[in-house]
Amino acid sequence: MTPHAPVFCSIVPPHLLERLAQSDNPAFAAAARRTLAVDAAQRAARAQAAPAAPEAPAGEAADGPRRTVYDARNGTELPGVKVRGEGEPAGRDATVNRAYAGLGATFELFLKVYGRRSIDGAGMPLLATVHYDRKYDNAFWNGEQMVFGDGDGELFLDFTIPVDVIGHELAHGFTQHTANLAYYGQSGALNESVSDVFGVLVKQYALGQTADQADWLIGAGLLGPAVDKGTALRSMKAPGTAYDDDVLGKDPQPATMEDYVRTGSDNGGVHINSGIPNHAFYLLATELGGAAWERAGRIWYDVMTGGTLSEDTRFSEFARATVASARRLFGDGGDEVEAVLKAWSVVGVPAS
């Protein structure tokens, strides 16, 4: 499948930054407005970029990542100054070390669990830039690399802290090189959800957690001391409950189609309505039990790499594809097909 021009995909959604830009606190508003402006510039640059599908040079080893971490030194030139390459020892900068480790954790999940060489399946180098801009409240995938802000220190902390944020953004590259889901409406919400799914799987795999042991939060540890009532950016276990704060507002994610949000902002609510397929995956993984990457994750991976999805896939089409995948992988006699059907039924998406 031919990739689109690379899409700018960020972890903090525009609706949250737009609320913060209206804050009565001048420092919070300034950081949010600066972040929105930088994001808009990056989004415009991505829209003009040519499609790209990088492949590994011949002769590269298949069993290890090729990581490079750069330092933007609080500027916006990408990629910045190289500060750590593959196999080089950890340095004194914890942000660099976390980025390097997170790239490796994501590579390890895809290779060891799914037999995939990097996010493109062909050994794609994993690149990251840290210390991007000043008080930049976001992290993003630009079609070629990861970029991390340091946060403003009050609302958001360093964006390399949660490994699931790293996994989430790299998973946008995985989607770019597989199903290539268009970044608007329901296909865009699926694009965001797939990144949340593989982001939490990276975290759970790295921690050795079962589905029952995991917190199912996206961005836990990211919110700063100025946020009184918030645990993360999103919750797959209970969409709509990640935060309810005077500064951030109320988490708007729905858990079921009954509360599906129709909006023209954020490419049709891609960061909001992703709560619905997110919750379906959580329900499936916990119903099956054990490690979520083994059966639930394998079904999602098979769907994304199977070549049956269109770029404009809707929730119901994706749901039916997961049922077909469960049958193909595990047969009709096991628990998997019934669990998939049940999960989609609970969130109100027809899967048969």
Q: Which amino acid is at 266?
A: D
Read off the pLDDT band of 6 (50, 70, 90): low
Identified catalytic residue from 131, 168, 172, 271: 271
**Among this protein's residues, is 287 annotated catalytic?**
no
Find how far residue 220's CA is from the centre of its chain: 13
Residue 45: per-residue pLDDT:
83
Average pLDDT over residues 150-173: 98
Domains in the chain: ranges and CATH = 9-176 (3.10.170.10), 185-346 (1.10.390.10)
Mean pLDDT check: name the lowest of 6-15, 196-205, 323-332: 6-15
Q: What is the pLDDT of residues 326-344, one digit of tens each?
A: 999 999 988 999 999 999 9
Buried b (16+ CB within 10 A) or exposed e, 309-329: beeebebebbbbbbbbbbeee
Q: Is the pLDDT of residue 111 over 80?
A: yes
Report residue 270: phi and psi, to 5°.
Answer: -65, -30
Q: Is the pLDDT of residue 61 over 80?
A: no
Residue 3: per-residue pLDDT:
46
As a whole-number percent, the residues of the chain with pLDDT over 70 amount to 94
Identified catalytic residue from 144, 154, 169, 287: 169
Q: Is the pLDDT of residue 1 over 50?
A: no
3-state secondary structure of 17: helix
Residue 52: per-residue pLDDT:
47
pTM for the predicted model, two decimal places: 0.95
**Among this protein's residues, is 271 annotated catalytic?**
yes
Collect all residues with Cβ–Cβ distance below 8 Å to 94 and sequence separation of at least 6: none
Question: Mean pLDDT for the chain?
Answer: 94
Q: What is the pLDDT of residues 218-229, one digit of tens each?
A: 999 999 999 999
Average pLDDT over residues 52-61: 44
